[in-house]
Structure 1
Amino acid sequence: MKKRYSTTAVLLLSSSLVLAACGNNSNPGTNGGETGQSSGDKVEVRLATWAGNEEANELQAIIDELNANSTTYTLVQDSNPAEYDTRIITQLSGNSGPDLFWISAQRAAQFSAQGAMLDITDRLEASDHPAAQMDDYYEASLQPFTHEGQQFGLPWLQQPIMMYVNKGLFDEAELSYPDENWTWEDFSAAMTALTKDGNGNNPGDDGFNASNTVQWGFTLNGWPPIQMFVWQNGGEVLTEDGESPIDSPEATEAMQFYAELLNGPLTPSQSLIRDRGFDTMFRNGQVAMFMGGAADDLDSTVENVEAFMVPAGPDGTHATFADVLGMGINSKTNNPDAAFDALVDLTDAIHHWKIMPPRVSLGDLETLQEMHPQKAQSLEAIIASMEYARPYLYSEQYPNWDNVFTTQLIDPMVNSGADPLDLIPQVKPLLENAMQ
C-alpha cells in the first residue's frame, strides 16, 4: 500500500549524486572490498532486504532451505526496513555493501543505468534455471531491470492494484458486486449507495448530513495512484521522450475525477483517515471499497471480503498499476557466481511465496490456488488484472520526475484540496525539466 511507495521516494534528488560514486565496474568480482567470506567450499552471500519481522521470519525459513541444498553459497539475511533506500544507496557507494539486495522498480532503473548493479545478461542466457528463463516473465516486470538491452536484475513480484470489496455492505445496499464491465459511472453509483449518514441517508438524499457520515463508499489519500486513473481515461503522465502531457483533456478529466473523490462526500476526509487509519477503516467496515495490492491480506483476514478488478475508464479502458519488486547483485561483489546462483534460487522461491509471481508459467488458476489457498476467492480477478497491469515509465531520471509530481501536484491536491487545473500549468514545465 502507500507506505511501500513513499519509502522508495526517499532522497530522490540526491540519490543520483550519491550513486555516481559507484561508477561502472568493467571487471565485477575483482574490485572492491570484501563482501563475503568463504566457508569451506561454500561462499557467504549477504542479502539486504526491507522485510519487517514477520516477513523476515518467513523469508529466513526459505533461506534456510536454500542454504541446506546449495553447494555454492550460504545466504545471510540482513533485513531492516528503516530508511532502506538511504542505507542501500550509502552501502553501494562504498565497498562494504551486500552481495545481493531487494530493490524497487524505481531504484532498479536508476541503479542499472548508473552501474551499481551487476549485468547478468550472459549468466541468464547460459542458465537453465527456471527463474532465468526470460521468455517466461511478463514483459512489464522486466522493463525496470533492463538498460540498453542488458539485464541487471530479476523481478520477484508484479502486484496489480485490486479493488477489495466488503460484500456484506454490498448485500445490505442490494448492490451487485463489481465485474469486468464496471466503469467510473458504476463505481460512482456504488460509492454513493454505500455512503450513508447516521440516519441512513445517502449523498443526494434530502437530509443527508455529511458531518455525520458513518460509512463511506471508498477511500483514498494519494493512494491509489492518480496515474492509474489517467491511463484508464486514455491519457499519460509521462512519455518515452520525456514529455509530461498532464494538460491533455484525458489527463485533466481524470485528475478532476480524482480531486472530486478526495473532496468528498463519498470518501472520508484526510484528517479522519490519519486519525482512524487508512486500511483500518476498511477493516472495521467504515469503508466499503478499498484499492490495494494483490498481495494484501484484506481478503484473507477480513470476513466476507473479496478482491475484484479495478473499474475501467468511461470508455471501458482497463488499466491498473503494477508494483514491481525484485533483486539485483552488487556490481562490486567479490563473489558474482555464487551471488548469481543465490539470485536465481531465491527469486524462484519468492515466486512461489508471494503473489503475484511475474512468470506466466506460475500465473494459472490451478497453480495459484495451490500456492495461495487463502486468497482462492480473489485469484481469477487477480489473474485477469495482470493483462492490464503496468508499472510507471521508470528511467534514470524518473526519481527526480516523481519527486516533482508528488510534491508539486499530488500533495497539494490531497493535503490542501488544490484544484488540479490550477496546478497543472505550473507543474508541467517542472516535470519536463526534471527529465532533462
Structure 2
Amino acid sequence: MKNILILGGGYGGLKCATTLQKKLENEDVSVELISKHDYHYPTTLLHKIAVGTYSARKARIFYRHLLKRKNFSFFKDTITKIDIKNRQISGELACYKYDYLVISLGFEPNDFNLKGVNEYAFKLSTLNEALRLRHHIETKFKDYRYHMDEKDLVFVVCGSGFTGVEFAAELANHAKNLCEMCGIDKKLVKIHLIGRSEHILPMFRADLSQIAKEKLEKLGVNVVAGNVIECQKDGVVIENADKSTYEIKANTVLWTAGVKGSSVIKDSNLETRASRIEVNEFLQLPGYEDVFVLGDCAIANDRDIIHAPTAQLASQMGEYCGLNLIKLVNGEELKTKFKFKHRGTVCSIGHTDAIGMAFGKGITGEPAAFLKNFIENKWIFGVAGFWNVLKKGQFRFRSSY
C-alpha cells in the first residue's frame, strides 16, 4: 500500500487531503495528515478572534470530523525534522515513513531581528496567540479603572498589510462596545497603524489604498508612515525618513510586519530562501518527484502574485497537488503546470465594510464585505460542507462574539 503523508493542516494541506478524499479511487493508498493541533482554523479570521468578535469555538474545524474515509487518518504531532533522503519524518511523538510527501507547515512571524519584537510584541500566527491577545485586550479595558494607566488603552499595530489593517479596523469598530460595557470614554482609546510608507495595503493600487486609509481614519485609527526600529515593554520606537526617531507609548503592541516559512524547513537543511523552498512548475521539490511543497513553505516562480492572498493561493496549490498525487499513484505523467487563478482579493475594514479587487475592478463598502464573507464561506463549504457553513460561516449580521 502506497502512503501519502501530508504535513500541516492549513489551507494547502487540508485542501490536498479533502481533494484526495473526494477524488482518489485507488483503495490501495493510505493518506495521513499530521498537525500539531486537532483542528483547522481560518488564519484569515484571526484578527476577529483576537478582538473578540468571532468565537474560537466557531473557528475550529476538527480534522477527525472531516477525514472519515477508509485509509484516511489524522495524527496529532509536532514535526521537528524532515529527512528527504531517507524518506523519514521526525515528530515529537513518533517517526513517519512515506511514499509521497506534502510539506504544508504554514508560516511563522518574521521579526527581521529587530530588538524587542519577540519579547514584547503579540503576533497573530496561531489561534492560541489570537486568544492570548483577546484576553489581554479585554483585561486592559475591564481593569482600566483600577490602574488608570492611559497606555492600557493605546494599541500599536506594526505593519500595514492585510492583517494589520484588518485588526486595526476590527478593534476600532469593537472599541465602542468595549468602552460602553466598561464605562470608559471612547476618546481615551488610541489605535496607531504603522507602515513603512503612506501607501498602506501595498498589494492594492494607490486609489484603493487611499480609500482604505480614509476609512481607517474615519474610524479613529492613526495611520503612521515610518519604520519601527525597536519594540519596548511600553511602546515602540519609530524612525522617520530623515532618520529622526520618536516613541509611541502603549501597553499593547501587535507585530504584523512580515512572515516567513516554517523553521522546520530551515532546520531540516533543505535549501531555502526565508525558510521557503523553491519548487518546480508542478510544485515539487527539485530532484524529488515524490515531494510537494505548498503554501507559505513554497516559492512558486511560475505564478501571478499580484493581489495573491496566501489562503487563496495555498488552497489552489492544495487542490492541484491532490489531483497530481492521484495521477502519480496511478502511474500517470504530470503535464499540466500549476497556474494561480486570481478570483478576487478583499481586505475587511470591519464586519460590514471592506475594499478589494474582483474581476479586475476595485470594489468597496458592503459589496466588498459581502464578497469577503462569500470567500470565507466558500472555503468552509469546500472542505467541511454546507452544514458547517451554517454553523461557522460569515454572514451580514454577527452570530457570535
Q: Scaled by the length of structure 1, what TM-score is found? A: 0.29
More helix by share: 1
More strand by share: 2
Q: Which has the higher contact order (CA 8 A, sep 6+)?
A: 1
Q: Scaled by the length of structure 2, what TM-score is found? A: 0.31
